[in-house]
Homo-oligomer: A and B are copies of this chain.
Amino acid sequence: MLTMKTVETTSELKNALDELDRALGFVPTMGYLHEGHLSLVQKAREENTSVAVSIFANPTQFSTDEDLANYPRDIERDIELLAGEGVDLVWIPTVETMYPEGYQTWIEVDRLSTILEGSFRPTHFRGVATVVAKLFNAVSPDKAYFGQKDAQQAAVIKQMVRDLNFHVEIIVCPTVREPDGVAMSSRNIYLGEGERLAARCLSRGLFLASDAFQGGERKAGELKKIVKDEVENESLARLQYVSCADPITLIELEKEVKECLISMAVFIGKTRLIDNLRLGK
């Protein structure tokens, strides 16, 4: 295939998929692509004969007081970027295609969806699991690529894939960061100039915790305190949570840790940012 195909409906998608050679790598996105997304696409390109990308700002993973309406979009730029990466197929479904009238089926990953991000965004992972299952069924990929930036999302999806017997391998790729350490996110566009500088406190806290870990610190409480102190030193930032958890089950760890996922959510002004770092592996 020489040119990238862009489709909207599920029947167009099916026809386009029939023309693609296996193995098929798949990168689901909400659009407004940055280097983080493109690193997933590049990995998919390396590991598969064909690559499909979806662009869909999924309404069911936003709560009514969240930022769906203002979620940044630039489909033309996205398409250009994906063509530049040698993607074969881009699927851009409408909300009506994904959730037609009478839609009523939901996937719940019980325990993993209720903790950390889920405790502040109670219906978020239900929306994520449901739309990802739909995308997997519609696209039938061999491998699907997600970012470590959304560590809990990756854990929820891996659990769903295992539990529901999906035939797809989940590949989690490293978080891509700006030169100053800030994790790439479509939501960084919301930040004013001062806020963008303040946003450095997330990764700064994580890197300090990592340094302490390298230096022998193993107490979960101490590692979290390092992150907390760093955020609290930043006047524009408000820490929502910091966690030190088992990297697979996301169960909160106490006392001495061998390996862990340090994760956090921070408000910078009105913008909610998340970041994480895996230690000890």
Contacts and interface: CB of A to CB of B under 8 A. Distances in A.
A105 B160 contact: yes
A159 B104 contact: yes
A167 B137 contact: yes
B110 A159 contact: no
A58 to B, nearest CB: 14
A129 interface: yes
A105 B104 contact: no
Interface in A91-142: 102-112, 129-130, 133-135, 137-138, 140
A165 interface: yes
A2 to B, nearest CB: 27
Give the residue among A108, A109, A111, A134 with the most B Cβ atoms within 10 A: A108
Contacts of A112: 104
A39 interface: no
A165 B11 CA distance: 11
A134 B165 CA distance: 5
Contacts of A271: none
A10 interface: yes
Given A104-B159, A105-B107, 13 more contacts: A102-B159, A104-B111, A104-B163, A105-B109, A105-B163, A106-B107, A107-B164, A134-B163, A134-B165, A135-B165, A137-B164, A138-B165, A140-B167
9 contacts: A104-B109, A104-B112, A104-B163, A105-B108, A105-B160, A107-B107, A107-B108, A107-B164, A133-B164
